Structure 1
């Protein structure tokens, strides 16, 4: 082939069987790469699902704390002080008020099974106490106290009576033990409805009260009548 100026240059011959670079389309290339990277050999050391979830949680918590630290007076130190103050207030309220518990309602009867004598309730209470089952021991001893007062005609037998009602009614002829009876009823309610746990001392107080009431002469000028109407 002639070129201006008289020089002649020969172009290299191209044969059909020579290898020519081929551009792979974008989508097939991406799919091929994804298939390759999906092989297990590339994921042997990846965190499991729980580890990934925990990592996300800690990242989220760190972001929340960073944001709170930026918004609180004094930065991170101020945030720590605020958290400690809140924890101290919660602990103080918990110690002062105890575990939140439900107040007994009229449907919360003291006796939840067939009639038994005071002696039978005492036997059951002592058996629970010997086994270290203080909640059940407190419950049975309170039932023994009330049943004993019914057997002595100091309380009128009445189905559906609650521990609080029994204590209030018995406190009239046994005025010297009115406060102790109310405390015994609260102990019964706490372990029965409030989710609290009794101990040896709680049971011992009810056992001693049961013994003292048996020796106490009631005020015969005061009657312990139930609700009228």
Structure 2
């Protein structure tokens, strides 16, 4: 048999005392660990805002109109950018990293010329000819005067270069032929071959291109 205390022995706290007891209980670690963090509350708020934005709740007819305006502004900005600046073109650093004459080579035209001259001083004419033609092609590429396709050949580059430099067409063809002969046919190079290539490269560096000439991609064909 359970004995219950008499009514006059029960302690009934007043409002302030009850509130204090509740605060003390909720301040215990077990309750605090289960309390949402500020990040949880922020994330829930963002999710709620986005859902209301797309559903239109709380905003009436403003949400669809607001989204439509944002989309139109973005599209208009892109159109204006294309009209003002045109289609983005690859930077020169991208050109330098692109495959050229069947190989990927990050060296600049100046670096290739220096190495070609070093090989020429050592009378390594094969290496000198190959490097100097690469320097010629890289120099035209850095000036945005040619735009060779991946796998384009020396003759393809020569044909592209002849567009801005029509007066060099025959010499460009001759230097491309020399490159192909040394690089692929294993024909021994000599000083005369290198001198022709170096002179052509040097003159192209200072020659003004034909006004209005634009780089055109030429499909690779066998040399």
Match of 2:216 in 1: 225
1:164/1:157 CA distance change after superposition, 3 Å: closer
**Compared CA separation, residues 195 and 151, structure 1 to 2 (3 A):** same
**Matched ranges for 1:1-229 at <5 A:** 110-156=101-147, 158-227=149-218
Q: Number of aligned pairs?
A: 121
Deviation at 1:110, TM superposition (A): 1.6
TM-score by length of 1: 0.50
| TM-score using structure 2 length | 0.51
For the residue of structure 2 that corresponds to 1:167, the secondary structure is helix
The answer to whether the 8 Å contact 1:118/1:145 transfers is yes
SS at match of 1:226: coil
Q: Is the 8 A contact 2:160 2:218 kept in 1?
A: no
Instruction: Determine if contact 2:182/2:189 at 8 Å carries over to the other structure.
Output: yes
User: What is the alpha-carbon root mean square deviation over aligned residues?
Assistant: 1.8
Long gaps (5+) in structure 2: 1-99
Structure 1 residue runs without a partner (length 5+): 1-108
Give 1 or 2: higher helix fraction.
Answer: 2
Going from structure 1 to structure 2, the CA distance change for 1:112 and 1:222 (only over 3 Å counts) comes to same
CA displacement at 1:199 relative to structure 2: 0.4
Q: Deviations over 1:60-110 (max 9, x none)?
A: xxxxxxxxxxxxxxxxxxxxxxxxxxxxxxxxxxxxxxxxxxxxxxxxx62
Aligned partners of 2:149 and 2:218: how far apart in 1? 10
**Greater Rg over alpha carbons, structure:** 1
Distance 2:148 2:174 in 1: 21
User: Which residue in the other structure is 1:37 paired with?
Assistant: none
Q: Secondary structure at the match of 1:116?
A: coil
